[in-house]
Each structure stands twice: as structure tokens, then as C-alpha cells.
Structure 1
């Protein structure tokens, strides 16, 4: 078993085993539209309850009372009266239908929908969704979905054996919903004179850089209100072309800033180290300890014409071997490449690096946020 012997920051700090590392590249310039969005421009979630018909006996059983009730109610709208006790809904399944209404979707546009079984149906394969109103959080209908499902999987079984691929109780209908109502989406003030940029990751430095980049291009028209908000006054010469102004503004390049962070995924053994991570001078010692335990079986045979019995015995041997520890000093550096190179020089395996970084952080020598996933 390999074991990290010690790490030093003035005094030795013992550590255990660890994980692989990947260094992130240095930050580069990016567009404003990649780090911020115009406030008010957003998508909306829709949901509806419906029925899928045409299933080959893989639908809900009669134990799903809500399915039976839904079928009865649907048939009533067509003037068909039926006794619920005589209904066998195995070819029908009750489903929830979800969709995302994109910003500025117009009446008549088509959107994708996802259909998910909510009863005890075995599969929705081959089914067709009946007309289903899709509502937003305010209870208003904004789209209507209908059409044949594509499950992308299957579930078959016979004689006690079964085979399944993916999840046949969930299906998709590409362009399966028709938008019936537009969502008002104003992204400027009432006078079309101002708009607001919202940062995807609020940060004081990034907000300030966005404000500076826009001011350099269009003049003093912005105010960084807080780490997540930049107020923008629309120039008068763009009053009739606000879309063009937003497009020009979003294409401006900035260098976003971020908190120094080391992200560790212990399940996959991956470490991602930000380019602005700094480390103080610290010493690392690493050694390897191997313990081998062996067992041999021997037979003890008594002499001839004696009263003894043949006995089987087990002999255990223990062998321990420890490799010399290598001590290396990680110099104070703000370059993550130097840190990784020094850790590789000490002979740390990829799975050792996580514990080394955790120990350096505990010693106070790693100036970054340590995030464990």
C-alpha cells in the first residue's frame, strides 16, 4: 500500500492517499454574451397532463384509477358514456408532458416536448399523445402538444426473461407542441432608454470590466450596480435599432475574472486547478510501503507404526518493504504549471495529488478555494 509520508510548512504534516490532476489553461478573452445576459430575456417552463394511446398492452393497469377516470372524462367530451368497471386501460397510459418555451416564441412556432409515464405502464413505445394543453406557472395555456412518441428504447420479456434498453416509460416528440400564445418579454424600460445586463457568475471584477468595455465602445453609458448587474443606457442613435445595439454590445471582448479554485472529483479521481491558484513554499516527502502476506500449506506425517495422525498445517509469512521517501520543495509560485510539475517530480501518482493538495490547503499554503464534488 502506497502512503504519503509527510508534508511540511515549517513543520511536517502527514497525509494519506489521493487522486489525478488536470491543470486548466490560462484565462482568455471572451464575449460579453458568454458571461452575461440581458435581463428579461428568458425561457419559460410548461407542463400538462395527457393520455398516450395505441400501446400494445403495455399501458396502465386498472389499478391506476386516475387513468380510468381520465379516459372516462375524455370520452364524455365526445359524447361517449362508459361504465368504469368495464374499462381495461392496458393500451392507454396517463402521462405528464413538459416543455420549455424559448424566449420570443411566436404563435404557431413548434417546440419539443417530453412525455413521462405517471402510472404503472411498462412502456410508451409506439404510443401517440392525444391533444394536451401545456400551462405555465400562472395557469395559462401557452402551447398544445400532440403526436407520436419516440422512446429511443424498448422493454421486452417472455418466459420470465426480460431485456430493456434506456427508459421506455419516457419519450420525446420533436416539434410536438404548437405555441398558442406569446409571452410578453420586455427587456428595456418603459421608455426604451435603458436595459440591464445580468452576469451568469456575479463577480465585482468581471462586472467592472464589462462596464469599462461598453463605455470604451459607446461612451459613458453604463453603471456597475453590483457584482451581478450592469445598467446600460441605450445611446440615442440606437433608439430605433435596439437589437443592433445589443448585438454590438454582446460581441465586445472582456477577460472575466474568477475566484481561485481547485475542484476535486473524488469519484472519478480528477482535479481541475484554476490558472490563478497560488501556493506558498512547502516541502513534500513521499515514500512507498509494500506489505506482502503469504500462506503455505504443509502436511505433518507421523512415523510408521505410531499412534499419531496426519495433520495439515498452515504457515503464514509477512514481508514488508519500504522505499526511500523523496523530499522535494514546492517553491512559492502563482503558476499552476509549476505546482503540477513539482508534484510530478516528487513521484506522486495522479491519485496521490488530491491528498497532497488537501494537505497543502490544510497547512495554509494553498491560496484557493478547495471544492470537493
Structure 2
């Protein structure tokens, strides 16, 4: 794919490395006009190349390369300018010095980013940095929602831990150096809180906010720890083994049955919120079972705990369940009774985080597959195909 930024490379190199270069209004205007024309040429080049592609995947690959090239150059230019605030990137002095020339380059590069964003929104790499001007426009669009939600939240009296979790996305106006995915998640979260506010007669409840966080897949470490503390607090007040196990199974069922409305996540490097919590619950059930068995040697464990060799997978329980689902759906596994499959998975397999997988967990995740789980398994299958094709 064509690299379109040679002229930008040359001018940046001249400005930074040519000690004999004279800076003045004439040179400043020359660079500005040259790069304006270069932007027009690059836009036409991008349009022509996209038009010639015969598949969306090739268009996406090309657009991603253009984004990456722009982002890399912008990073270099911003580092050299070293502005105190992002808005300083747009203020040109009357000196027409080195920094002013770099600011012109930044302006032209960002305009190319905005062009790609506007014309090829469906092919963007959402993990790339969003242009500052684009962020400003979107911030202005949700400013009134942020103001209303913040005012309402502070009057509810939430637990401090939960309040800190919810207030963080409301600092959206302070966010500058973020990816499209991060900003989109913040915007989606604010919109969800705003709708919750209007749908509950301007009253929030702690329970409804927690449910929204789960539905929006707020998979942050701090929210995971908050949920664990809440579950542990309830467990502490339950006196019997059966009541604890029943509560944990019911809680896990609620997570499985919660409809995750967001295809985006708070963090793209952490498992989904449901995966994190259910894995913790499964481990807690396993611990309680072992403890109960030690205290009551004649009791029957709810999960098999025999010292047998199990296959350890570099997949989560949800991903493993979906992989077996695909094997059964395609007829590779021919057992007609799916309960046999669930039992076989639970008895003979483990993951890095879950030593003893429960049949209930397998069953729930087998039928309720999240988008993130499908994408992870898809990546594994592609890697297998690549290996076969070598």
C-alpha cells in the first residue's frame, strides 16, 4: 500500500536537522501553501486507492496504515513542539520560527486524520488516537448530559468506591490523548447514565447504577474489586454452607443472564466483566467445597476434585465453552446429549484461572456467548488455519 507522507517527512526532517535553515514569514507561508496542496493530493490519492480495492478488508487494512502513519508523524511533531496544553498547538506566534512551522505541519496532519474519520468511519482502527478537534466537537455534544448527570450523582449518596468509578468517565472534558474506543466508551457510559436518570424520575439507585456498569461491560480492575467486596460482604453474613453455595450460583446466573448491551469495553486488555466475576465466583465455590469436605469428610463435593490430569487451555471458560460449541455444531463432536459434553469439559479441562470448572458454568456460557468471546475464539481458529497452510 502506498505511503503518502513523503513530503511531510522531508519538511519535518529539514526543520529539525538543518541548522542553516532560515525561518521567517516567507518560509512559513511557503510551507503552509505547499502542505495545503499536498493535503489535497493525499486525499485524492486515498480516494483513488480505496476505490480500486475489491474488498472491505483491503480497504480497512489500507485505512489503518494511513492512520498509523499519521499518528506516528503527529507524535514526533507534538513531542518537538512540547505544548503546555493541547490547545497551544493551534496558536501561531508572529515569529514564524521553528515551532510555528511545526504547528503548521501538525495542523495539516490532523486535517488528514479528520478527513479519514469523516469519509471512512466504517473502516477506522478504533484503537488509534482520536484527533483533538474531533474530541472537542464530541465533548460539546454531550456537555449538557455530563452536567446533569454529575449534579444528580452527587445528591444520591453512593458508596465512595462506586462514586469514584462512576465519576471517572464524567471527567470526559479533561480527556485529550485517548483512542476512539476509549472516548466512545466514555460517551456511551454518559448517555446510559443520562437515560437512567430520565427513566427513573431523576432518581438514581445504587443497584441500577451497578446493573448499568455490568451491562456496559465496565471491566475495570477497580469495578471488579468493588463487586468482589459486595459479594464477599453478603457471604460473610450467610451462616450455612448450602446458603453460601446457593447465593454464589444465583449470583453467577444473574451475570450470565445480564444482556451486555455494549460491544465496546472499558479496557481492551482485560477480560470482560462477566468473565472476571464468574471466574472469581467459580474459584470461591471450589474453595468452599474443599473447605466443607475437610470439615465434613463424608460430604460429597459439588464439583469433582479428584487428583486427575486435566488439559490446561490458554482460553477462558467462556472461550473454551464456545470452542466446544463450534465443534458440536459442525459435527466434529457427535455426542447428541449436550449434558455429556458439559460434564466432559468440566471433568477433563481447566484454564489458567479456573482449576475446577463447574457444569453450570459451562452450560450457561455454552448458550450465552458474548461478542468478545467470539472474537477471541475466531483469532485462535485463524492462527490454526495459518499453521495448517504453512
Please state which band the TM-score falls in when normalised by the shorter chain.
Answer: under 0.3
The structure with the largest helix share of the pair is 2
What TM-score comes out, normalization by structure 1 length? 0.22
Greater relative contact order (Cα 8 A, min sep 6): structure 1 or 2? 1
Q: Which has the higher strand share?
A: 1
Superposition TM-score, scaled by structure 2 size: 0.21
